[in-house]
Structure 1
Amino acid sequence: MWFAVVSLSVMHILSISYGPRWLFYATKPLPTILLTAIVLLNPTSLENYTVAIALGLLLSSLGDIFLMLPKERFRAGLGCFVLVQVLYSYAFALTFEHYTHWLLLLAILLLGSIIYLLLLPNLKKEKWTIAIYLIVILFMIFNAIEAWQTSEFKAMVFAGVGAIIFVLSDLVLAIDRFRASSDFSRHVVMFTYYTAQLLIALSAILMI
């Protein structure tokens, strides 16, 4: 199934420029759906972690569908990804006992505030929805890095790197949507998005 995940991801990225449109729509949610199945077929000793990651991947595929509809359901899609980040945060927090890197949290919040202020002039009616999403994804990346640094599970390195790439993907998407668009931004967004989801899935599959 790994070959199918990679192949479908590449097909979707290529379809952004070359089409056909049916291939673009068909392939976008399939990699995360397959990753959901892979995670569920490889249970680990930390069952709640596996379930939370699988649910996050499944909700991601639903969010992908909302965001690619001809009449885009932006808030519905963003709502799905808010839940995704909550699930991922919960999963990562299961792997360590105490928070220790408080300076890291302050640095993440400061960076997030700067990004939000740069986007704010163009957010218009979406300023509160973006603010909520930003808060939950910042908490997600904090939990992921905390788990990476303090958890006894070595597989959390995949979660930490995956979370960082996920944030970079969303940052490129936000810049493209609310600041300045480019011809290749969607390609970058999807490449980093699929990479992040694959790494987060691996954190569940390889956890021992």
Structure 2
Amino acid sequence: MPTHLTLEQLNDGILTIESSPQDAGTLEAIVIRPVTDARVSLDKCELSPQGGVHGDNWALGCWKSLPDGSPHPDVQVAIMNSRTIDLIAGEAERWPLAGDNLFVDLDLSENNLPPGTKLSVGDVTLEITEIPHNGCKKFAERFGTDAVKFVNSPVGKQMHLRGIYAKIVQAGTVRVGDVIRKLRE
């Protein structure tokens, strides 16, 4: 079983995370969750407003839904900073345990990517939503209670260390290695 980092060790990694690119970074990993607690890493994937991240269980119903019971579009895509998950997980093979779909080397902070910001990656356009992404019980089980304290701290929330949610505005294909770019309006 992997050793979890202490809060002090995690805080020592903040400078590395803060140096993530602000305008254009890289899509480092794609993960789908076909069923609860299952993870599949992909080299490429289709994304659409109707299907979300294709193959992911979002379209089958998720933790947040609309009044008609359909999955909420504001939580279609879970995105996490690759430097953050690398620090927390310790090795790339453990990244999928976080449950996010896209792991990117990009500054996800509130200051850099406020809700409404659009991103392009591959042929896809995403829009950052207001729904908070917080560390939970499963995250603590997988990465330790200090990891949850780290991502849910005031600094962690401002930097969106646990990640962000986005909805799909323009359908298309994303591939590991694609540039993810903040769009100017």
TM-score (norm 1): 0.25
Q: Which has the higher helix share?
A: 1
Structure of greater Rg: 1
Q: Relative contact order, CA 8 A, sep 6+: which one is greater? A: 2
TM-score (norm 2): 0.28
